[in-house]
Chain A
Amino acid sequence: MNLDATKLSELDAFMAETAHKTNSHSYVIAVLHKAQQLFGYLPREAMDYIAHAMNIPTAHIWGVATFYHFFNLKPVGKHPVSVCMGTACYVKGAKLVLDAIKEELRITIGETTEDGIFTLQETRCIGACGLAPVMMVGDKIYGDITPKKAVKVLAQIRKETV
């Protein structure tokens, strides 16, 4: 896979900002964040690129990228779907919502739909317990969600995306 040249030069610019700072190696997490923001996930080529640019052995980059759950090692869909499995959401039926979504999208947690639109995740409490059960699509929160409502929301988003 070849990385997009425009995105790479943006990554270069970001790394250049950190390069002259003391302990520049410690900016590796920030740089990985930037890469994920640019590419949607951390492709191996991006990690290789960062490793050579920052002079950090690839094995160490891999160690960091796998340690933090925030980093995606596989491509993610355009719209990440997270169902909150925190206590409040759970007792209000989040599990049923999750099951309905799994069935509708024919994927399980951590997977991406074939058309690349949705990636399903479960999350711990997002601090919106008053709205429980809660589903997030991208940055948008959907409260008081039911299995039926969830499926409808996703269908609508898919329609708008395609």
Chain B
Amino acid sequence: MDTTTVNIIIDGKPYAARHGQTIMQAADEHGFHIPRLCYHPRLSIEGACRVCIVEVEGAKNYVASCAFPVSEGMKIHTNTQEIRRARRDIVELILDNHPDDCHTCERDSNCELQRLAASMGIRNRHFKGEKKHYEKDLSSASVIRDPNKCILCQRCLRICSEVQGVNALSHAFRGFQTVVMPAYNLPFAESVCSTCGQCINVCPTAAFVEKNCTQELFEKLNDPSIIKVVQVAPSVRAAIGEAFALEPGRNMEGQTAAALRRLGFDYVFDTQFSADLTIMEEASEFLERFQNKDRLPLITSCSSAWMKMMEQFHPDFIPNISSCKSPMVMMGTLVKTYFAEKMKIDPAKILSVGCMCCTAKKYEAERPELRVNNMAAVDMVITTRELAWMVKSAGIDFINIHPESFDLPLGLSSGGGAIFGVTGGVMESAIRTAYEMYTGETLVDIEIGALRGFSGIREGKITMDKDEIRVAVAHGLGNASELLDIVRKNPQRYHFIEIMGCPGGCIGGGGQPYAGVNSMPLDENILKKRAEALYSIDRAKTIRRSLDNPDVQRMYKEYLGSPLSQRAHDLLHTHYAPKLPQGILPIESTVK
């Protein structure tokens, strides 16, 4: 990084900036938060919205501060009356083409455009603009696209190409007719979309939202003939507090379980339990392949967006993918088999709901190959955001509610199950268990620092007896593709790979609460706090290895036999196949 100091003047006062910084970056460091809309710190500079304009003395026009570099002696004005008016007009012109339906919009009170309009002081409307009239795209199981709400900031297509490397979206046509859409304006469901939902996370308005099924769920919860069973993913508890304006990183596990009971669920189970089970199967699968010298590296399969992307973009790796179902589907399967048998319930009467940090899980739940005895393993998936809304809508005092525990026999988990939600967590858990399975000894240093943190691709080594096991971790689909390219060039480099589709892992999932007033979506500091919430759950547990979970041990003894047994294979494993349309990874990748 260039550290040459540049002296600039912002609103009449001198400040130091660094050479190469944009005006916005320099101003941010000195407490000037210039209004902005299309800008996102993780994405390339677009300069599309012009909301962040400032006056630079000597420049002919106002400049977009997100794109304009500082220079020595630059005199910048961020808040003159004239700038304020110009900015207000820009935002007002955006509003004039935007539907006037804030009070019935899903992003009401969570909308960046709305907040911006409020901060501009737009209290009168001077212009009447043409509105857009497009059909909503409801085809995807996970993501709804509504071009009428789109303000063309292009964050969605930038995250889809630059961070995820999926390139499902582009702007098509031109001028006022410009629409962000998949290739050939095909339904989303027929595109290369991985259903990760990151477009929802970064969209400032409601042009992308999840396929909401809360009303349908409320209806089912009020039906006394149904037995309602829910499971909660690790990352939901680490983030849901944010939807209630709590500081990020609060563990709301007990409150979540209590609120779900008050919503009407009969049994509240923990996906962390089935995460432990996943580790038992996956670690066994790894050791079997390692000992038999079968195809390696073994690649994890928990992340549903990653699985869809793999089938469309990387089908050459199908033989490397773990056959383990995801923890959510393992749980759903056991609810409709083991649990139903144990409780003597007709599984057809069970409604199995997944409460997930993820939009791709909605897609996964509909995969036909994951059905169990002709029933869906998971009937319905709601995101963290949907759960938060349901809790508010039902009038449950989430913040002050007395914490409760999960129900047994599918509610007890090890620390290894909790850290599934953070990038690197599955690998760390797998090593904790595989080490003991392989060597017969207990791994002492179970917190594996090399696998923690947020750099895109991380590597680690562990010695089991005399064998060196080389592992790698990637999070975000763009990094995943990059890691697979390394493997294509050097197939012997790793034995075991963890891939998570979203930045930060599930904690950064496409179904997590929208960014609060003072933060950006996918803010890395918030992701770190969510991660820390899960790491502290792990540290607080007496049982930190999946294979020490007594309820998992009991399940094998009573029901499954042993890991990779015939029954385990029938219930907990699946298969993958190439899917169309085939994805294209640009060689000169724009992925960071």
User: Is A58 on the interface with B (CB-CB < 8 A)?
Assistant: yes
Contact partner, A67, options B157, B174, B581, Cβ 8 Å: B174
B residues in contact with A66, CB < 8 Å: 172-174
Complex contact B169–A59 (CB within 8 A): yes
A residues in contact with B167, CB < 8 Å: 57, 59-60
Measured between C-beta atoms, what is the minimum distance from B198 to chain A in Å? 15
B residues in contact with A59, CB < 8 Å: 157, 167-170, 181-183, 191-192
Query: C-beta contact mask, A21-55 vs B, less than 8 Å → 1, else 0?
Result: 00001000000000000000000100110011001
B residues in contact with A61, CB < 8 Å: 183
Contact partner, B586, options A44, A48, A55, Cβ 8 Å: A55
Q: Determine the distance from Cα of A60 to Cα of B192 in the docked complex, in whole angstroms.
A: 13
| Chain A binding surface, main DSSP class | helix
Q: Tell whether A58 pairs with B172 under 8 Å between CB atoms, given A25-B588, A44-B184.
A: no
User: Is B295 on the interface with A (CB-CB < 8 A)?
Assistant: no
Measured between C-beta atoms, what is the minimum distance from B147 to chain A in Å? 14
Measured between C-beta atoms, what is the minimum distance from B330 to chain A in Å? 34
Contact partner, B183, options A25, A55, A58, Cβ 8 Å: A58
A residues in contact with B582, CB < 8 Å: 52
Measured between C-beta atoms, what is the minimum distance from B279 to chain A in Å? 36
Contact partner, A62, options B184, B192, B583, Cβ 8 Å: B184
Q: Determine the distance from Cα of A58 to Cα of B312 in the docked complex, in whole angstroms.
A: 13
Q: Determine the distance from Cα of A67 to Cα of B157 in the docked complex, in whole angstroms.
A: 16
A residues in contact with B184, CB < 8 Å: 44, 47, 58, 62
User: Is A63 on the interface with B (CB-CB < 8 A)?
Assistant: yes
A residues in contact with B554, CB < 8 Å: none
Q: Determine the distance from Cα of A53 to Cα of B463 in the docked complex, in whole angstroms.
A: 44
Q: Determine the distance from Cα of A22 to Cα of B585 in the docked complex, in whole angstroms.
A: 19
Contact partner, B585, options A44, A48, A55, A67, Cβ 8 Å: A55
| Chain B binding surface, main DSSP class | loop
Contact partner, B161, options A51, A55, A57, Cβ 8 Å: A57
Q: Tell whether A55 pairs with B172 under 8 Å between CB atoms, given A60-B167, A62-B183, A62-B184.
A: no
A residues in contact with B171, CB < 8 Å: 63
Q: Determine the distance from Cα of A60 to Cα of B588 in the docked complex, in whole angstroms.
A: 14
Q: Determine the distance from Cα of A94 to Cα of B161 in the docked complex, in whole angstroms.
A: 46
B residues in contact with A62, CB < 8 Å: 170, 172, 181, 183-185
CB contacts under 8 Å to A, within B177-192, are 181-185, 191-192
Closest to B171 in A: A63
A residues in contact with B48, CB < 8 Å: none
Q: Determine the distance from Cα of A56 to Cα of B585 in the docked complex, in whole angstroms.
A: 7
The residue in A44, A56, A63 that gathers the most chain B C-beta atoms within 10 A of its C-beta is: A63
Closest to B167 in A: A57
Q: Determine the distance from Cα of A60 to Cα of B172 in the docked complex, in whole angstroms.
A: 9
A residues in contact with B183, CB < 8 Å: 47, 51, 57-59, 61-62
Query: C-beta contact mask, B267-308 vs A, less than 8 Å → 1, else 0?
Result: 000000000000000000000000000000000000000000
Contact partner, B170, options A44, A48, A63, Cβ 8 Å: A63
A residues in contact with B182, CB < 8 Å: 59
B residues in contact with A25, CB < 8 Å: 586, 588
Complex contact A57–B581 (CB within 8 A): no
User: Is B245 on the interface with A (CB-CB < 8 A)?
Assistant: no
B residues in contact with A67, CB < 8 Å: 172-174
Measured between C-beta atoms, what is the minimum distance from A110 to chain B in Å? 14
Closest to B185 in A: A62
Closest to A52 in B: B584
Measured between C-beta atoms, what is the minimum distance from A67 to chain B in Å? 5
User: Is B444 on the interface with A (CB-CB < 8 A)?
Assistant: no
Closest to A56 in B: B586
A-B contact pairs, 29 of them (CB 8 A): A25-B588, A47-B183, A48-B581, A55-B585, A55-B587, A56-B584, A56-B586, A57-B167, A57-B170, A57-B192, A58-B183, A58-B184, A58-B192, A58-B581, A59-B157, A59-B168, A59-B192, A60-B167, A60-B170, A61-B183, A62-B170, A62-B183, A62-B184, A62-B185, A63-B172, A66-B172, A66-B174, A67-B172, A67-B173
Beyond the given A57-B183, A59-B191, A60-B170, please list 8 additional residue pairs across the A-B interface where CB-CB is below 8 A: A51-B584, A57-B192, A59-B181, A59-B192, A61-B183, A62-B181, A63-B171, A67-B174
> Which 5 residue pairs of A and B lie closest in terms of their CB atoms, listed nearest first?
A57-B167, A63-B170, A58-B183, A59-B170, A66-B172
Q: Which B residues contact A (CB, under 8 angstroms)?
A: 157, 161, 167-174, 181-185, 191-192, 581-588
Q: Which A residues contact B (CB, under 8 angstroms)?
A: 25, 44, 47-48, 51-52, 55-63, 66-67
